[in-house]
Amino acid sequence: MTGRPRTIWLVAGEDSGDQLGAKLMRALREAAPDTVFGGVGGEAMAEAGFASLFPLDDVAVMGYLPVLARARTLLRRIRETVSATIRARPDVLVIIDSPGFTHAVARRVRRAAPGIPIIDYVSPSVWAWRPWRAKGMRPFIDHVLALLPFEPDAHLRLGGPPCTYVGHPLIERLPELRPGADERGRRDAVPYSLVVLPGSRRSEIERLMPVFGAALARVAEGLAVEAVLPAVTRHRALIERLSADWAVPVRIVTGEAPKYAAFREARAALAASGTVTLELALAGVPMVVAYKVSRAEEFIARRLIQVPSIVLPNLILAENAMPEFVQADCTPERLAGALRPLLAGGADRDVQLAALGRIDGRMRLAAADTPSRAAARIVLRAAEGRGPGPAA
């Protein structure tokens, strides 16, 4: 580290990676104030003082058809990112999630400049589907920073790169998720507050909202319930329309702060499978999880997905503590049957609350540590030549 400042190259591919990158930048500056950054990021990283090579929107594309439609732009941005990285010769390259874009960059950088250590911040879901990707990462990834505690074992089992659990970013938001005394009291108040989360994609919402509404009508036959629906702003009108004739009172909220406020007061939740189930688990909200996809997607998923549960808290606990209802099992009758005891109280609710209480122990980091600091330590070790060398 002589003759020039420490240089760390960060390459994100979408908004969630941008948020992780901004937190990582702050942790790196805290530990090494003279660090210089470059690469690709978005608004959050820009607010932290990052100058992106190009707008993040150029590569933040999801789904096969949108990717095909913008293939020319994506390939150009991949080439530009690789060229800029090679010219900069950073002490370490950190790719952040979005493997379709970031792994394409990492492969090309490794071929052209094999001496640059490459760290992958956020493991692809190799434990869930396409497990052969883990071994395929070894030639161009030196270390994986995992958000979920079971991922290091998965990479070891599948022959992937060295992998370290650094913690999920939600750990840094526990004060926003945990209820205060008044909010805990509200969880026991009638009418019971049920938070309903039909997903963030239009297709998810259109498939699940009718089923969720019919399930709540059955629950409301014996219990006083009100529904709180946190909505993505762009889908609020759709959710308002689909919940207009529900048999229970409905309150729609937008924004993250109102969503977390609803979690802190919720007696239970009915949720689509996704990261939101981990948010609910950390907030201590008992839940029923559901999911439906098209027949074509179901056909593909049955052949590729290799996990005993689609619910993240269940995978973290290594037990199916949160009931899940997928495809043909996702019916109003089954959802209502699982929700009633969570709302009314009793053995089923107590068992799930006890399981939720074990989540912290599985996800805990060292005292006073945070995911960003844990990740920053490994990145700095690699930048200083003390981490794992380029993969063989």
Predicted confidence (pLDDT) per residue in 151-163, tens digit: 999 999 999 999 9
Predicted confidence (pLDDT) per residue in 217-268, tens digit: 999 999 999 999 999 888 999 999 999 999 999 999 999 999 999 999 999 9
Residue 71 CA to residue 59 CA, distance in Å, equals: 10
Predicted confidence (pLDDT) per residue in 166-189, tens digit: 999 999 899 999 999 999 999 999
Instruction: Return all residues near 191 (Cβ < 8 A) that are at least 6 apart.
Output: 224, 225, 226, 249
- Give, as one character, the DSSP assignment of residue 36: E
| Averaged pLDDT, 289-293 | 83
Residue from 256, 263, 208, 203 nearest 233 by CA: 256
Mean pLDDT estimate for the chain: 90
Tell me which CATH code domain 5-166+364-382 carries. Answer: 3.40.50.2000
| Averaged pLDDT, 91-112 | 95
Instruction: Return all residues near 14 (Cβ < 8 A) that are at least 6 apart.
Output: 56, 59, 60, 62, 97, 98
Where in the chain are the domains? Answer: 5-166+364-382, 172-361
Predicted confidence (pLDDT) per residue in 21-41, tens digit: 999 999 999 999 999 999 999
Q: Which fold has domain 172-361?
A: Rossmann fold (3.40.50)
5-166+364-382 and 172-361 in the same fold? yes
Residue 79 CA to residue 111 CA, distance in Å, equals: 13
pLDDT confidence of residue 292:
78
CA distances from 63 to 96, 100, 339 (A): 18, 11, 33
Q: Is the pLDDT of residue 65 over 60?
A: no
Percentage of residues in the chain having pLDDT higher than 70: 90
pLDDT confidence of residue 307:
63
Confidence class of residue 288 from pLDDT cuts 50, 70 and 90?
Answer: very high
